Structure 1
Amino acid sequence: MIVWINGTHGVGKTTTSALVQRLLPDSRVFDAEKVGETLMDITPGLPATDNFQHWPPWRPLVVETARQVLAYTGGTLVMPMTVLVERYWLEISAGLAGHGIPVRHFVLHADRATLRGRIEAEHRIPSPFRLRHLEPYAEAARTWLHAAAEVVDTTHLTPGEAAERIAAAVSSR
C-alpha cells in the first residue's frame, strides 16, 4: 500500500513521513521529488517550467517507480509529496489503482498564519518558493484536495502527533 502525505510546502510532510515510517511495520519512505530531480538532471534539458510536476513524464514515472519499489520490497511506501493540481492527482491515483495498489491519501493542513510562521522560522530568510505556494494550496484545499483526502490539521499538533494519527488511521483498516 501507499500512504501519500500531501500538503503545502513547509507544512511538515518530510518530518511527519519519517515518523510515520517508524510507526508502520515494513514501511519505507519514497520521496517522489527524487523523480523530479532526476528529470531536472536531463541535459540539454526539458522545457522550462517552475515545477517539474508540469512535465508529462513525471506523473507516470512516479507511478511506475512506486510500483517497481513495492514489487521489490513489499510492505508500505510512505510518500511525502505536494500535489496541488487535481488533474495530476487523478492521473497518479488512477495509475496506482490500475496496478492494484491501494492508496491512503492524507493532507497535512495548518491555518495560513501557522504555515507562514513555520516557513519564516525554518530559515533566517523565509523560502519565497514555499511562501508562493500558500495561495495555490488554499485554492486546492477549497476546491478539491480536502475532499480527496483524509485531512490532519496540524495547526496545534507536533509532527509526532500527526504521525501517530496517520499511523493509527492506516492500522485501523
Structure 2
Amino acid sequence: MLLWINGPFGGGKTATAYELQRRLTDSVVCDPEHVGFGLHRMLPPGLRTDFQDLAAWRQGVHEVLDLAAREHPGPVLVPMTLTDPRYFAETVGRLREDGHDVRHFCLLAERETVVRRLRRRGFGFGLKHEKWALDRLDDSLTRLREAAFATHIATDGRSVSEVADTIAQQAGLPIAPDTDGPVRARWRLYRASVRHLRAD
C-alpha cells in the first residue's frame, strides 16, 4: 500500500509521515522533494522555479514510487503537496493505473493554524524563510478543499499522533500505540521541521 499524504506547505505532512513510519511495521518514507531538489541542483539558480512543473520530476517520482511500491514489503509513505489536478493524474493517477493500492489523504487546517505552524518551523526567525509557502498558502487551501483531493482530514487542534491514528485507521493498517510523552513528542516535531532545512 502507498499512502500519499497531501496538504498545504506547513500542514504537517512530513511530521505525520515520520510518525506513521515509527508506528507502522516495515513502513518507509519516500519523499518526492528529494527528486525536485536534485533537479534544482542541476539547474542554474535563475532557472529554479517550481520543480513540479518539470516533466522529469513527475516521471521520476512515478518511476521511483512504482519501484518502491512493487518491491518494498511494507507501506510506502509519501509526504508531498500536490494541488494541480494534471500533476496529480501524472503521479497518483498513474500509480493507480499501474495497479498499486494508493490511498490519498489531504491534511487541511484553517489558515491561521498553518501560519502558526510555519512560524514555529522558522526556528525563531518567524516567517522570514517561509515566503514560498506563504505565497502559495491561500491558493493551496482553496484547491485542496476540492473533492478531487479527498480524503480530507481536519488537523486543527489535533496532534500529529492523532492524525497518524486517523490515517492508519482509514487505511485499515494496524498501528502501534503512541507511548511518547509530551517532551518526546515535541522533540519528534522539531526533528521533522529540521528535515525542511536546505543548504541551497
TM-score (norm 2): 0.78
Paired with 2:15 and 2:36, the residues of 1 have a C-alpha distance of 20
Change (3 A) 1:50 1:133: same
Structure 2 letter corresponding to 1:52? F
Q: CA deviation at 1:125?
A: 2.8
Corresponding residue SS for 2:153? strand
Over aligned residues, Cα RMSD in angstroms?
A: 2.0
- Tell me the residue number matched to 1:76: 75
Change (3 A) 1:49 1:136: farther
Contact 1:60 1:95 in 2 (8 A): no
Structure 1 letter corresponding to 2:36? G
Paired with 1:46 and 1:60, the residues of 2 have a C-alpha distance of 22
Contact 1:23 1:167 in 2 (8 A): no
Corresponding residue SS for 1:3? strand
Out of 106-115 and 89-98, give the one that drifted further.
89-98
- Tell me the residue number matched to 1:130: 133
* Unmatched runs of 5 consecutive residues or more in structure 2: 175-200
Percent of counterpart pairs with the same letter?
32
Corresponding residue SS for 2:60? helix
Within 5 A, what are the aligned runs for 1:109-124? 109-123=108-122, 124=125
Contact 2:6 2:105 in 1 (8 A): yes
Q: CA deviation at 1:172?
A: 6.0
Indicate whether 1:91 and 2:90 are aligned.
yes
Q: CA deviation at 1:166?
A: 0.5
Q: CA deviation at 1:141?
A: 2.5
Out of 88-97 and 7-16, give the one that drifted further.
88-97
- Tell me the residue number matched to 2:184: none
- Tell me the residue number matched to 1:168: 169
Within 5 A, what are the aligned runs for 1:8-157? 8-43=8-43, 48-123=47-122, 124-126=125-127, 127-142=130-145, 144=146, 146-157=147-158
Corresponding residue SS for 1:74? coil
Paired with 1:161 and 1:79, the residues of 2 have a C-alpha distance of 18
- Tell me the residue number matched to 1:159: 160
Contact 1:23 1:164 in 2 (8 A): no
Contact 1:10 1:130 in 2 (8 A): yes
* Unmatched runs of 5 consecutive residues or more in structure 1: none
Corresponding residue SS for 2:78? strand
Corresponding residue SS for 1:104? strand
Structure 2 letter corresponding to 1:161? E
- Tell me the residue number matched to 2:3: 3
Q: CA deviation at 1:46?
A: 9.7
Paired with 1:90 and 1:163, the residues of 2 have a C-alpha distance of 25
Structure 1 letter corresponding to 2:151? E
